[in-house]
Each structure stands twice: as C-alpha cells, then as structure tokens.
C-alpha cells in the first residue's frame, strides 16, 4: 500500500512540476512581449533597418532577443562591427550599434560597394550614402561582401584609402575621387574640381585644401594643385 502511495505521490509531483514549468513558460512568453527596440550609435543604417533585422525570424520575446544579442550575436547588420544590448523593461531593449567607418565606395553593376580603411567590403547596396565619396578610375578584379576589394594596382588603391581617411579627418564634403589614365588624382565637390596630380604623399596638400575648399563651395571652376609644395603662399582658383 505504501509503495502504491509513493508512486501516486511521485506522479502528482511530476504533474505539478510539468504544470509549473508550462505556467512559467506561458508567463515568460506573454509577459515579456518585445514591443520596442531602441537603436543608438548608428550612422549608416536607419533605426528601422536595424530593428527589422533583429525582429526577422526571431521570437518577439524580450528575454530571448536580449540573450541572443548579449551572448551569441548572429545578426548581420550593415556596416556593424558588433552590437551591445541593455535590458530596459519587460517590453523594451536598447541596442547600441558599433559601426565600422566607411572609407569610400565603388560603383559596381549599378550598385555601391562600401569598404573600410583596410579595403574590406562592408556592404553592397543600391542606396548612395551622403558624404561618402564615390571612387572611379581604379580597375578591380573581384568584389565580394565581407571580403577584401581585389584591385590590379595595390599602390594606387592604398593612396585612395589614405585620401579617404584624410577626407574624413578634415570633414571635407567630397563627392567623387577619380584616378585618370595618367594616375593623376582628381577630387570633385559640387561644381569644383581639384587636381592633385600624382604624389608620394598627399598629407600637406590635403591639410591646405581643407582650409580653402569651403570658400569655393558655391563657385564653379577648379584648383590646380598638381605642383603644390608645402608652405606655398598662394593658391589660385580658376573660375569657369
């Protein structure tokens, strides 16, 4: 008799545990509905883009999404190097996007190929991001998402990367960077062209250009800095 009672008690205990677990699971599923994803730290991707990628094919549960980002982030956010997440409340999390800086972009098959300072492809998109210069005149061999841009002349591409870095450093509004057939570098801003020529280093001329270029923003014409030397007193703008 006592043995049967023990079996009955064990069954009741197991049933109670199952009901308790199911109850807790239902509570977690219903009480932690993810309603709001606050996105910060993003410059290149919109809040909506980041939130939609996180929500796609994911249980809309605050604890689940928080844990997935916190411990095993598998979300592919454009231009992102990583994600950080804060738990705000049962229905809201705050996601901080850690983005890589874009050095420039190439036009390829009616799309824009964005790459970082090391030449790694961050994103391929039909959308042109403002203030990111388009680079032309560089023959490339292969472009693959998250891979390195393979070009025929690494020296020229390294010069482009250096120029792009200085454009960002001086916050210059350059629309286009072009290498002509003679390996001369030309910058474009609105209706202004800047001829920089072929130099071993562009540090001095870019530092000077950062000072004078804003003054020519509304003009039409060009600067010829092909033979510019550091410390040069006068720089002329040729009006067209």
Is the overall model pTM greater than 0.85, yes or no?
A: no
Residue pLDDT tens, the chain, 240 long: 455 555 556 666 666 676 666 656 665 566 688 899 999 999 999 999 999 999 986 778 898 899 899 998 888 899 999 999 999 998 999 999 999 989 889 988 889 999 998 889 999 999 999 888 999 888 888 889 989 888 888 888 888 888 988 998 899 989 999 988 888 899 999 999 999 998 888 999 999 999 989 888 888 999 999 988 877 778 888 888
Residue of 91, 90, 117, 113 whose CA lies nearest to 103: 117
Q: Are 139 and 151 in contact (CB under 8 A)?
A: yes
Domain spans, the chain: 1-31, 32-99, 104-239
Q: How far is Cα 125 from Cα 143, in angstroms, rounded to an integer? A: 13
DSSP bridge partners of 176: 134, 188
Considering all CA atoms of the chain, what is the largest pairwise distance in Å, rounded to the nearest integer?
Answer: 109
Question: Given the DSSP bridges, would you call strands 92-99 and 36-40 parallel, antiparallel or unpaired?
Answer: parallel
Q: Assign domain 104-239 to its CATH architecture.
A: 3-Layer(aba) Sandwich (3.40)
The answer as to CATH 2.30.29 being correct for domain 32-99 is: no
Measured in whole angstroms, the distance separating CA 87 from the mean position of its chain's CA atoms is 24
Residue of 101, 99, 56 whose CA lies nearest to 75: 56
Q: Are 186 and 206 in contact (CB under 8 A)?
A: no
pLDDT, tens digit, 9 for 90 and up, residues 188-205 = 999 999 999 988 889 999
Structure tokens at 69: 């980002």
Question: What was the pLDDT predicted at 39?
Answer: 96
């Amino acid at each position: 008799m006592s043995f049967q009672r023990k079996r009955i008690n064990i069954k009741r205990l197991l049933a109670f545990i199952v009901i308790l677990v199911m109850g807790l699971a239902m509570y977690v599923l219903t009480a932690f509905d993810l309603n709001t994803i606050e996105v910060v730290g993003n410059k290149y991707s919109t809040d909506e883009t980041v939130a939609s990628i996180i929500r796609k094919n994911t249980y809309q549960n605050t604890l689940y999404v928080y844990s997935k980002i916190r411990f095993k982030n598998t979300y592919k956010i454009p231009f992102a190097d990583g994600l950080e997440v804060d738990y705000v409340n049962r229905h809201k999390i705050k996601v901080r996007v850690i983005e890589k800086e874009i050095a420039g972009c190439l036009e390829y098959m009616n799309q824009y190929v964005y790459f970082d300072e090391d030449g790694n492809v961050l994103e391929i998109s039909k959308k042109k991001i403002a203030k990111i210069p388009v680079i032309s005149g560089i023959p490339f061999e292969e472009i693959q998402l998250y891979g390195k841009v393979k070009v025929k002349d690494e020296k020229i591409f390294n010069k482009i990367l250096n120029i792009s870095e200085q454009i960002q450093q001086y916050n210059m509004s350059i629309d286009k960077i072009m290498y002509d057939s003679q390996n001369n570098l030309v910058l474009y801003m609105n209706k202004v062209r800047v001829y920089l020529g072929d130099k071993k280093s562009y540090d001095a001329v870019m530092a000077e250009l950062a000072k004078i270029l804003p003054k020519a923003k509304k003009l039409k014409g060009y600067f010829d800095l092909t033979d510019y030397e550091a410390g040069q007193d006068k720089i002329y703008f040729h009006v067209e």
